[in-house]
């Protein structure tokens, strides 16, 4: 990530501007399509990132592309803001952070759940319900397979980690033994 603070500022602003889940999904998809277009058409990216090309021309190019795609006004305005501030290069980072910002803006806590084996649908449902109950609000979980855990789970919320894995228990036991 180029500049996490800058990415967070733009991402939070965009998430706050989106009024509904449907609008969020549409704008996210349109931004992802535009980012993919920059990747697949290198000449377009080169033109938009060249400092000697007039900002007005860059804006007209973007608006023409988005008009052909029938993009939402908020998509157009967001890309225009990035362009005017010389921040178009952070678009991929904004897209990567947007789901988290959207959930944060709606009061949903995002957990990272690490396990050795994939959890079943019922296990995921129970875990998310319990995390929502403990957190006093909605919870979202991103599931990651981590063979180094040996067994159990490791649940993280930002810097806070609940480690109920076999690996975590063994490390705790090792620390207790070494203290004696």
Q: Is the separation of the CB atoms in 168 and 140 below 8 Å? A: no
Whose tokens are 């810097």? That residue is 159
Tokens 């995390």 sit on residue: 131
- Euclidean distance between CA atoms 33 and 92, whole angstroms: 11
List all residues 6 or more positions away from 96 whose beta carbon is below 8 Å from its beta carbon.
1
What's the pLDDT at 131?
87
pLDDT for residue 33: 93
Domain with CATH 1.10.520.20 in the chain: 4-104
**pLDDT recorded at residue 13:** 93
122-130: long-range contacts (C-beta < 8 A, 24 or more apart)? 127/153, 127/155
Please, what are the averages of pLDDT over each run of 10 residues along the chain (180 residues)? 85 93 94 91 81 82 87 92 89 93 88 90 91 86 88 84 76 76
CATH of domain 4-104: 1.10.520.20
Angle, helices 91-105/4-17, rounded to nearest 10 degrees: 50
**pLDDT on residue 1:** 61
At residue 158, the pLDDT reads 76
Query: Angle at the Cα of 71 (from 69 to 76), degrees rounded to 5?
Result: 120
pTM above 0.75, yes or no: no
As a whole number of Å, the end-to-end CA separation of the chain is: 43
How much is the pLDDT for 78? Answer: 94
């Amino acid at each position: 990530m180029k500049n996490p603070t800058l990415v967070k500022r733009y991402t939070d602003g965009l998430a706050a501007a989106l009024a509904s889940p449907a609008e969020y999904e549409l704008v996210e998809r349109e931004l992802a399509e535009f980012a993919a277009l920059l990747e697949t058409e290198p000449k377009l990216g080169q033109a938009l990132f060249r400092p000697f090309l007039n900002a007005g021309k860059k804006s007209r190019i973007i608006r023409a592309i988005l008009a052909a795609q029938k993009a939402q006004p908020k998509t157009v305005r967001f890309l225009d803001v990035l362009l005017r501030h010389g921040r178009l290069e952070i678009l991929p980072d904004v897209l990567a952070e947007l789901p988290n910002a959207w959930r944060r803006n709606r009061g949903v806590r995002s957990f990272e759940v690490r396990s050795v084996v994939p959890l079943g649908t019922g296990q995921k449902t129970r875990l998310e319900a319990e995390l929502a109950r403990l957190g006093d609000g909605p919870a979202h979980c991103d599931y990651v397979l981590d063979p180094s855990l040996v067994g159990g789970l490791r649940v993280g919320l930002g810097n806070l980690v609940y480690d109920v894995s076999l690996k975590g228990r063994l490390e705790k036991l090792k620390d207790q033994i070494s203290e004696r």
